[in-house]
Homo-oligomer: A and B are copies of this chain.
Amino acid sequence: MTSTISVTVWGEFRHEKKNPKVSSIYPEGMHEAIASALRRAPDLAVRTATLDEPDHGLPTDVLERTDVLVWWGHLAHQEVSDAVAAEVQRRVLEGMGLIVLHSGHYSKVFKRLMGTTCSLKWREATDKERLWNVAPSHPITEGVGDYFELPQEEMYGEPFGIPTPDELIFISWFTGGEVFRSGATWQRGHGRVFYFRPGHETYPTYHDANVQRIVLNAVRWARPTVRIKDSAPCSPPLEPLPPAPSS
């Protein structure tokens, strides 16, 4: 492992091309807003990739050199090829970190790693979201207080169709009366996965300082320490075995 963390921010980059409200908030695309905040950290080298590039911007050599992948998608989950989704899953299992944002809960990549529906309740309205920090000593919440607020966000509500997280990091309160496990981690193979709820395309969520800090913290936390290829070796005994019974 080198001392620089190689990050790839993947964005679907479709809303921005068709919805003026989204492009006014994210003129360079949501992925660029996320990436440019990360680029301020001197220990990160950040590239971006988007759906409509060849191989969705994730050819093997990019994935091989990526330490941590950040994923935002929404409209076009089904357009992500099964082959690329399988490669991302393989790399996570080998050790690559994965940060899944907001509507990425329904991405092929996240669903393959969780094995569950990843379904939830939702509402686009005028809810405020207050994210409670339930893991104040976790590296992902470093510098975040007891809670922080997003003045407007899409509501996501429980039940959330995920396996029990290894670590629960945030629980959200919404004005309209719902709650949500809005930050959670899972180890999958040798890779660390963090799901982080906020980030609806019609709100300036990725310009929020707390959100930016949490994504940065998560990238550092998810940095791989190993790369271990899958194998299923036939393994000779380490201790003497009894003789085979005569037939």
Residues of chain A having any CB pair with chain B under 8 Å: 89, 93, 95, 112-117, 119-123, 125-128, 130, 132-137, 139, 142, 146, 152, 155, 157-161, 163-164, 166-168, 171-179, 181, 186-191, 224-226, 228, 230-239, 241-245
Give 20 A-B pairs besides A112-B112, A176-B238 with Cβ atoms closer than 8 angstroms.
A113-B115, A116-B189, A121-B232, A123-B235, A130-B238, A134-B159, A134-B160, A136-B159, A136-B190, A137-B225, A142-B225, A161-B189, A163-B163, A168-B168, A175-B237, A175-B239, A175-B241, A176-B241, A177-B239, A178-B238
Considering the complex, give the chain B residue whose CB is closest to the CB of A117.
Answer: B230
Cβ distance A13 to chain B, nearest Cβ, rounded Å: 23
Q: What's the Cα separation between A233 and B155 when bound, in Å?
A: 12
Q: What's the Cα separation between A161 and B94 when bound, in Å?
A: 11
Cβ distance A152 to chain B, nearest Cβ, rounded Å: 8
